[in-house]
Amino acid sequence: MTTNAATDPMIGRMIDQRYRVRSRIARGGMATVYLATDVRLERRVAIKIMHGHLADDQAFRERFIQEARSAARLSHPNLVGVYDQGAEDDTAYIVMEYIPGITLRDLLQEHRALTPEQATDILRAVLAGLASAHRAGIVHRDLKPENVLLADDGRIKLGDFGLARATTANTATGAALLGTIAYLSPELVTRGAADSRSDIYAVGIMLYEMLTGEQPYKGDQPMQIAYQHANDTVPVPSAAEPGVPPELDDLVAWATARNPDDRPMDAREMLDHVSGDRQRATGQYRTAVLRPENATAILPAGDGRAAGDGRAASDGRADSGDATDATRVIAGSPGGAAAAPVRRGAPGPRRTGSQPGALSPAGQRLADKSAKRRKRGWIALAVILVLVIAAGVVGWALGPGPWGNVRIPEVAGKSVTQARQLLQAQGLQPAARTGTRFDAVVAKGQVSTTKPAAAREVRKGTAVQIVVSGGPRMIALPAIVGQPLSTVTAALDDDFQLQDDRYEFSADAPADTVIAATGVLPGGDTVDLSTVDEYGERGPVTLTVSLGAVPDVTGRTVADATTTLQGVGLTVGAQQERYDDDVPKGQVISSQVEGSPAVRGSTVDLVVSRGPTPITLPDVAGKTIADATSTLENLGLQVTVPDCTNVLCRLTDWKALLRVDATDPVQGSTVYRGDEITLSYRQ
């Protein structure tokens, strides 16, 4: 199941500045699995992220981390690999190998039951991976078809060690039974304890389900199924599917025995049994020797000694007392050919005619057979020698000789001349014409690959074409500057290598808006991607993202300003105090960021008000009222002069004539702009 950023906030997020989440694969009780890109190694991975509402539950968090530690200890072709584990913002995650394909559950839902051959193949793969876990002292405890992954390329992998525990640890589950109820062993149901034999029980239930298309126990409530596991014996698969071989019936019965002691000790023992390795290792094969009921033996004549004494007659003389050859039929016995009693003095092959050494017809037949056997032996030896020599010649020709196979060397990144030399050194023939292709990794003009590709085994003398890099394929760039970060990331992620984003404050762009994009040309020069229409495929792209404007803290208290600035990642630096008639004492008059542009961690200096500027009241006594008033008002003070009551004041400009006697407050006092000063004078 996949989703998008509109329904899942994790989509498009960069985790630990390395893993960019692309889509959701599946969701379980403890975590959600996403497809992600490891931007550092440029590969797709599966990342399992614990649900946020479980982050505060220490038990769940420890169980989640336990899965990573358990699986990371294992390395086997039939186990899903674990690459990394960590936490960010109280979110725990596990990075695993991404296996494109389906689960065994999907296969069973599509086909119901599997053939015995298919079930056996999957069983071997599961047992091989499980044997690696058992050997490392780890019990899976949650074996079920959902955790068996069938990759598109044919690989079979066992995953999800979320409930795994060390075999030496206390495996009691407490008040609740963990694992899927349909595959729990009797001891897990009754005692809550598990070891490697509990995994074997689950394997047996899975084998039953693969052969029959259904689970052995059914019920409306989980406890009904658990009761049957604890008290009933699993039926043989052939009762539900008559075509199941007896050997697989026996295997299911062995793996699902109610008493753990009656099951295989671990996955290795069961795998050896399935593969026949156990018999080969212990020599338990039996060879049946069938003996004939009757055996016929030709007994040679002797000098009166019985044939049973182990010695043959050797004088070669004819016995005139018996003119017939002696042939005896000896009956077979359970212990071997029986030695029947023979008359002493029994005649042997009789010589006939007058020539010395002539044999009787029976003796001659024996001699002819012996000669033929010797001749056939020499012929067989000669044939064997010829075959050995021929095999040696063929082996030499197919190995170091002219007909041998060689591996195509790796020549990517080398010049065409160097590539030709390496191919010729391996006995290969470089093709006269080279090919070209776009290559985002190898520089233009250097060798990109070969056809056939490197590491392929081919015959010596095979023509190999060198393919030269034409540089990266140019791709049209979408709108970048001024666009939201999530939009730009989705548009660029498939075609280019997104580097770590840069963030800076900008008064001209809202937060999380891209304000600049930089690339690197093949020569190493940087380029502003907002000034070009195309850019090379898989080229590095660095996005500069706005953090919004630096907060305006004018008029705020120092404490309030510090909290605000630190909240966006800025640091408060020097604080300079200054008199200000408009800003109250203790409030910020202005702020200035050190360096440009401002980024997280930049320092902001503050100018803080000391309040209004103090004024020392000058001495204006003796000055005319007009001059004194002008002097004080120029200082920002307000001047009050009592009205003149003298009749002469009506006839003249008395303020320009009369002089100040004193001021209130008195001269030398500290006053501030706007304060009122009263002048006194003599009328």
Stretch among 3-17, 515-529, 643-657 having the lowest mean pLDDT: 3-17
For residue 310, tell me if it sits in a domain: no
Give the tens place of pLDDT for each residue, 651-683.
Answer: 888 999 899 999 999 999 999 999 999 999 987
- Whether the CB-CB separation of 499 and 542 falls below 8 Å is answered with yes
Domain final residue pick, 32, 65, 97: 97
pLDDT category at 57 given cuts 50, 70, 90 is: confident
Whether residue 84 lies in the annotated active site: no
For residue 37, tell me if it sits in a domain: yes
pLDDT category at 311 given cuts 50, 70, 90 is: very low
Q: Does residue 328 register a pLDDT over 50? A: no
Does 240 share its domain with 109? yes
In sequence order, the 6+-apart residues with CB closer than 8 A to the CB of 171 are 139, 141, 165, 192, 193, 194, 195
Residues of the domain holding 515: 474-546
Domain final residue pick, 520, 546, 572: 546
Does 136 share its domain with 257? yes
Tell me the one-letter amino acid at 216.
Answer: P
Q: What pLDDT was estimated at residue 31?
A: 81
Domain final residue pick, 267, 282, 297: 282
How many CA atoms lie within 13 Å of 535's alpha carbon, on the beta-carbon side? 26
What does the alpha-carbon distance between residue 482 and residue 204 come to, in Å, rounded to a whole number?
Answer: 60
Does 93 share its domain with 130? no
pLDDT category at 87 given cuts 50, 70, 90 is: confident
pLDDT category at 327 given cuts 50, 70, 90 is: very low
Q: Does residue 349 register a pLDDT over 50? A: no
Which residue from 53, 99, 93 is spatially nearest to 80, judged by alpha carbons?
99
SS3 464: strand
Which H helix or E strand runs over 680? strand 676-681
Q: Does residue 303 register a pLDDT over 50? A: no
What does the alpha-carbon distance between residue 251 and residue 234 come to, in Å, rounded to a whole number?
Answer: 12
For residue 395, tell me if it sits in a domain: yes
Tell me the one-letter amino acid at 509.
Answer: A
What does the alpha-carbon distance between residue 556 and residue 473 come to, in Å, rounded to a whole number?
Answer: 55
Q: Taking residues 286-310, what's their average pLDDT?
A: 36
Which H helix or E strand runs over 229? helix 222-231
Stretch among 207-211, 301-305, 376-380, 450-454 having the lowest mean pLDDT: 301-305
Does 141 share its domain with 252? yes
Q: Taking residues 320-347, what's their average pLDDT?
A: 37
Does 600 share its domain with 630? no
SS3 228: helix
pLDDT category at 398 given cuts 50, 70, 90 is: low
For residue 340, tell me if it sits in a domain: no
More confident residue, 636 or 170: 636
pLDDT category at 510 given cuts 50, 70, 90 is: very high
For residue 157, tell me if it sits in a domain: yes
Q: What pLDDT was estimated at residue 346?
A: 35
Q: Taking residues 509-532, what's their average pLDDT?
A: 92
SS3 22: strand
Q: Does residue 531 register a pLDDT over 90? A: yes
Does 150 share its domain with 264? yes
Q: What pLDDT was estimated at residue 314?
A: 35
Query: At 156, which CATH number?
Result: 1.10.510.10
Positive/negative CA dihedral, 520, 526, 530, 531:
negative
Give the tens place of pLDDT for each residue, 423-473.
Answer: 999 899 999 999 999 887 888 899 999 999 888 888 888 999 999 999 888
- Whether the CB-CB separation of 640 and 633 falls below 8 Å is answered with no
Does 481 share its domain with 455? no
Q: What pLDDT was estimated at residue 164?
A: 53
In sequence order, the 6+-apart residues with CB closer than 8 A to the CB of 110 are none
Burial class (CB in 10 A: 0-12, 13-18, 19+), 400: exposed
Q: What pLDDT was estimated at residue 353?
A: 40
Q: Taking residues 190-202, what's their average pLDDT?
A: 91
Q: What pLDDT was estimated at residue 173?
A: 42
More confident residue, 398 or 83: 83
More confident residue, 367 or 147: 147
- What is the DSSP annotation of 61-114? HHHHHHHHHHHHT---TTB--EEEEEEETTEEEEEEE---EEEHHHHHHHHSSP
pLDDT category at 416 given cuts 50, 70, 90 is: very high
What does the alpha-carbon distance between residue 244 and residue 116 come to, in Å, rounded to a whole number?
Answer: 7
Q: How far is the CA of 191 from the CAs of 5, 76, 176, 185, 553, in angstroms?
A: 45, 31, 11, 10, 65
What does the alpha-carbon distance between residue 193 and residue 174 come to, in Å, rounded to a whole number?
Answer: 10
How many other CB atoms are there within 10 angstroms of residue 650's CB atom?
A: 9
Does 408 share its domain with 441? yes
Query: At 604, which CATH number?
Result: 3.30.10.20
For residue 246, tell me if it sits in a domain: yes
What does the alpha-carbon distance between residue 122 and residue 118 come to, in Å, rounded to a whole number?
Answer: 6
pLDDT category at 383 given cuts 50, 70, 90 is: confident
Give the tens place of pLDDT for each residue, 119-144.
Answer: 999 999 999 999 999 998 888 888 99
DSSP for residue 29: S
How many CA atoms lie within 13 Å of 518's alpha carbon, on the beta-carbon side? 10
Does 142 share its domain with 230? yes
Q: Does residue 533 register a pLDDT over 80? A: yes
Report how many domains make up the chain: 6
What does the alpha-carbon distance between residue 423 and residue 429 come to, in Å, rounded to a whole number?
Answer: 7
Mean pLDDT in the chain?
81
Burial class (CB in 10 A: 0-12, 13-18, 19+), 278: middle
For residue 536, tell me if it sits in a domain: yes
Q: Taking residues 544-567, what's their average pLDDT?
A: 95
Give the tens place of pLDDT for each residue, 470-492.
Answer: 988 899 999 999 999 999 999 99
Does 206 share its domain with 263? yes
Q: What pLDDT was estimated at residue 85?
A: 86
Q: Does residue 60 register a pLDDT over 60? A: yes
Does 139 share its domain with 265? yes
DSSP for residue 237: G
Does 161 share its domain with 253? yes
Query: At 90, which CATH number?
Result: 3.30.200.20
Q: Does residue 215 register a pLDDT over 90? A: yes
- Whether the CB-CB separation of 128 and 75 falls below 8 Å is answered with no
SS3 437: strand
106, 121, 142, 249: the active-site residue: 142
For residue 289, tell me if it sits in a domain: no
